[in-house]
Amino acid sequence: MALGRYPETGLKDARTKRDEARELLAKGIDPSVDKKRKKVAADIANATTFKAVADEYMDKIEREGIAEATRKKTRWLASQLEKDIGSLPIADIEPYEVLAALKKIELRGNHETAKRVRSFASRVFTYAIITSRARIDPAASLGGALITPKVKNHAAIVDARGVGGLLKAIEGYEGYLTTKLALKVMAHLFVRPGELRHAEWPEFDFESKVWRIPAAKTKMRSEHVVPLSVQVLDILKEVQGLTGDGRYVFPSVRSGNTPMSENTLNAALRGMGYGQDQMTSHGFRSTASTLLNESGKWSSDAIERALAHKDSNKIRGTYHRGTHWDERVKMAQWWSDYLDILRDGGKVIALRRGAQG
């Protein structure tokens, strides 16, 4: 067995290694085999740090197919733990070490982020258990140690007259024209803000009057087809004259190669005098859901499908041209017509509380 080269290995070190080798031989252990085992153990230790397992877990879910926005958020959540526990062997991590990392996030006032990071860490530990790299999930029981922020629903205006006032404010918006038009489309289509911001021109079929949102861009990971009213088609044609040569329907005002920023629509609402506790871009969905349900004209299933909410029955859980497609087409046009009435200060229909249609 080689004890190292001189002068890299000094005489004292060589003697120490010799004595260690003799001790191993006395125990019936081959020193060269022991050295290989230690190297393998070191390699395994390097491959089983929290960061290594987290990277492996994220690679797995990305190969399975997740939306780009989800991929970025997951990578960001992982980065919040890298400094504190990233280099630690995942099997040796104690609950107090995870909690210390989470408390640092809380101290910055990011209570919801701390909870999301804990949930992500728990998924990584669970993956480590399944793949025989850990025995327990030290993050599992930490939820109770974190501050629970007051739950805030996406603020929304849900009374008809208030919606009319909002639509008038949008008409009078003096900021970027594309931002104004994006707000108008949000009101009519009530899709998720991220879906609108990332909308691309090839997804729209003006002849068939539909917008096909790819599965990769939807929260439910299923293609969502949205019927387009006459009013929406007119708005989109106006937008096309502004951004039709680019990739995105509503690009960033700073770069036509990237989508509108996440804060643009909410900032516009703030500029119109609507506080974050009054109306948000996501709130258009609550506005539509409330008024459509209370109109008593449409089935709850059609409304849920229009909102692209997950169906509890997987057999019925598709959102494109299903049983309620014809109803959704009629509902889309009715909704746009109703918004025009509210904007112009016309007669508000009598809403029936709790009506199911």
Mean pLDDT of 101-105: 94
In a domain, 350, yes or no: no
Instruction: Report the percentage of the chain scoring pLDDT > 70.
Output: 79
Span 127-166, pLDDT tens digits: 999 998 999 999 999 999 999 866 556 789 989 999 999 9
Q: 229, 335 in Cβ contact below 8 A? A: yes
pLDDT band at residue 47, thresholds of 50, 70 and 90?
confident
Q: How far apart are CA 351 and CA 159, in angstroms?
A: 10
Write the CATH number for 253.
1.10.443.10
pLDDT at 243 over 60: yes
Domain count, the chain: 3
Catalytic residue numbers read 192, 219, 282, 285, 309, 319
Q: 174: Cβ–Cβ under 8 A, 6 or more apart, which residues?
A: none
pLDDT band at residue 31, thresholds of 50, 70 and 90?
low
Same-domain pairing of 184 and 325: yes
Same-domain pairing of 39 and 63: no
Give the Cβ contact number of residue 51 at 10 Å.
17
> Does this model's pTM top 0.75?
no
* Half-sphere exposure of residue 332: CA atoms within 13 angstroms, side-chain side: 26
In a domain, 352, yes or no: no
Span 72-98, pLDDT tens digits: 889 989 999 999 999 999 999 999 999
Domain hosting 133: range is 50-145
Same-domain pairing of 177 and 34: no
Packing angle between helix 177-189 and helix 325-343, nearest 10 degrees? 130
Q: 220, 308 in Cβ contact below 8 A? A: yes
In a domain, 354, yes or no: no
In a domain, 6, yes or no: no
Given this model, what pLDDT does residue 127 score?
97
Write the CATH number for 66.
1.10.150.130
